[in-house]
Structure 1
Amino acid sequence: METSSITYHKIIRVGADGAKEVEDCLAIEEPLEIQLAFMASGKRQGKSISVTMRTPGNDPELAAGFLFTEGIIRSKSEIAGIRHSVLDENRVLVTCADGFEPLLGSLERNFYTTSSCGVCGKASIDAIRTRSAFTAGEDQLVVEKSIVQQLADQIGRHQQVFESTGGLHASALFDLNGHFLMLREDVGRHNALDKLIGAALLADNLPLSQHVLLLSGRASFELIQKAAMAGIRIVAAIGAPSSLAVQLAGESGITLAGFVKKDKFNIYTGQHRIRSI
């Protein structure tokens, strides 16, 4: 567990046996400013892209994932480096590769993003529909029903900070046989997924078309959009999907399952990829 992800606070715990002072474990929430440096018209340019409320940890992955899922960058090769500010650990600078100018016209959002809403400030629904670099086509992806039912138990075993605080969202990646591959946590559900996708981007593992994504909570429009950007074709959520999430999943050729539990789950789109139903 990253010690920077949690803090401790004295509280009064009230129960049937009365009230007592105890020390509670809290998930840290702090702002992260993502800055971009690039060459344009022969001059070095710098731009503040976003400020998001996040749980510290995996910040370079978060920055890379955010830039990728927003359509500002398309590949790892467009990034020359990512580093924290020497003066402020809540600022991270992404330097673009020589000869690459980022697609800033695709970013139509306010610079402030809360931990609960990743698309606050978007100009319109059309602006949110960032075009994926990985076009959905015919595939033979199939996952067993029993594997989907096992995912919820698996994510619980790997959510280390959630186990301590109860206050974080998670995004986890599995192969088609249900083997756990990677998990990222954050106070913001969109940040957790950006960290996961950013890790895959920096490891040159995109697209994630042969994987299953599990969301620890509900499936929102933006999370499905981010999954589509990463080429993910199967998404399962422990919570409910929104109507726009279901619509986008259908349009993007994504299999979307919700309310995933040991004994049951709902399939909203792409039922052909779930076997034994």
Structure 2
Amino acid sequence: MRGARQVPRRAWRGGNWQDGDRALPEEVAVAFTYDGAAHAVMMATPDDLRDFAIGFSLTEGILTHADEVDALEIVPLPAGIDLRFWLRSDRGEALAARRRRLAGPVGCGMCGLETLAQTQRAVPRVGPGIELLPGQVQEALAALPPSQALNTETHAVHAAAFWHPARGLVALREDVGRHNALDKLAGALAARALPAAEGMVIMTSRISVELVQKAAMLGAPLLAGISAPTTLALEVAEAAGITVLGICRRDGFEVFTHPHRVREEAPA
């Protein structure tokens, strides 16, 4: 399925009515089924689904490596799409021991959790990672808009991107949900064996707590967003050792946690 579809609309522009079409993002129910048992249903854009499947499983701790999947089927159904996993026996047993159910609408990466305690899940502390100059951060941010093909078409989706200091923008994924976009990016990095520790993850959204949690699961030391972070996101980032950059715009950005990874510019 494509990520967008043309729909008819009537627009009021310049004092006149105009009939025509507009591209809008697709949004469908995507179910995650592991070893025959339902686990989660997310509303998502139905492209890059293999990346979504693997990335979600990694950032939620269901998998520790992509090779723990024996088989993965993407099954279109009348009500949506079912991502059907068959896990290696040890991973299947581990999942069965801690199974939970989720039902996550767009924009919410935690809806459907059974207890308040589940919102405070422990996340690993990231490694030292890399250090960047402010000019490199600006270079990374400038690379995003030309690469956001689906957003250029629809003006209605988020992006998650990975920028490497030696290779530039090496991966970008889009979705109606910001956490879905990050999961898709996680899957893309896993498919290409690109360590998140070697670059910076950039979100075209605010930095919320579930994005920090997923970044920690990836081992990403730098997480940037075009909007401000939440206070809880910063608390988790501080504990996880993640450098959070927010309000990332053409004229600059703000660093909220672990500022040592963004160095002063070298003297001219």
TM-score by length of 1: 0.88
Q: Match for 2:206: what amino acid?
A: R
State the 4+ residue runs in structure 1 displaced beyond 6 angstroms: none
- 5+ residue gaps, structure 2, are none
2:12 alignment counterpart:
14
Aligned residues: 263
Cα drift, residue 268 of structure 1:
0.5
- The answer on whether the counterparts of 1:131 and 1:229 sit within 8 Å (CA) in structure 2 is no
Q: Does 1:263 pair with 2:251? A: yes
Counterpart-to-counterpart distance in 2, 1:53 and 1:238: 23
Q: Does 1:248 pair with 2:240? A: no
2:118 alignment counterpart:
127
Q: Does 1:170 pair with 2:159? A: yes
- The answer on whether the counterparts of 2:102 and 2:113 sit within 8 Å (CA) in structure 1 is no
- The answer on whether the counterparts of 2:129 and 2:197 sit within 8 Å (CA) in structure 1 is no
- The answer on whether the counterparts of 1:70 and 1:107 sit within 8 Å (CA) in structure 2 is no
1:41 alignment counterpart:
none
1:25-36 to 2 correspondence within 5 Å? 25-36=23-34
Q: Does 1:157 pair with 2:146? A: yes
Counterpart-to-counterpart distance in 2, 1:90 and 1:152: 33
1:182 alignment counterpart:
171
From 196, 210, 213, the equivalent of 2:185 is: 196
Q: Secondary structure at the match of 1:90?
A: strand
2:84 alignment counterpart:
93
2:22 alignment counterpart:
24
Q: Match for 1:260: what amino acid?
A: C
Cα drift, residue 183 of structure 1:
0.2
Cα drift, residue 87 of structure 1:
5.4
Deviations 1:156-187 (A, max 9, x none): 01000100100100000011357111000000
Q: Secondary structure at the match of 1:103?
A: helix
Counterpart-to-counterpart distance in 1, 2:154 and 2:102: 28
Question: Closer, same or farther in 2 for the Cα pair 1:271/1:30, shift >3 Å?
Answer: same
Deviations 1:239-261 (A, max 9, x none): 11111111111110000000111
Identity of aligned residues (%): 28
2:199 alignment counterpart:
211
Counterpart-to-counterpart distance in 1, 2:236 and 2:125: 14
Question: Closer, same or farther in 2 for the Cα pair 1:245/1:124, shift >3 Å?
Answer: farther
TM-score by length of 2: 0.91
Q: Match for 1:119: what amino acid?
A: M
Q: Secondary structure at the match of 1:209?
A: helix
Q: Does 1:229 pair with 2:227? A: no
Question: Closer, same or farther in 2 for the Cα pair 1:107/1:118, shift >3 Å?
Answer: farther
Counterpart-to-counterpart distance in 2, 1:259 and 1:148: 12
Q: Match for 1:93: what amino acid?
A: R
Cα drift, residue 105 of structure 1:
4.5
- The answer on whether the counterparts of 2:161 and 2:203 sit within 8 Å (CA) in structure 1 is yes
Question: Closer, same or farther in 2 for the Cα pair 1:86/1:55, shift >3 Å?
Answer: closer
- 5+ residue gaps, structure 1, are 38-45
Cα drift, residue 91 of structure 1:
1.1
2:130 alignment counterpart:
141
Question: Closer, same or farther in 2 for the Cα pair 1:148/1:107, shift >3 Å?
Answer: farther
Question: Closer, same or farther in 2 for the Cα pair 1:140/1:165, shift >3 Å?
Answer: closer
Counterpart-to-counterpart distance in 2, 1:117 and 1:140: 28
Counterpart-to-counterpart distance in 2, 1:243 and 1:124: 21
- The answer on whether the counterparts of 2:225 and 2:246 sit within 8 Å (CA) in structure 1 is yes
- The answer on whether the counterparts of 1:73 and 1:102 sit within 8 Å (CA) in structure 2 is no
Q: Secondary structure at the match of 2:252?
A: coil
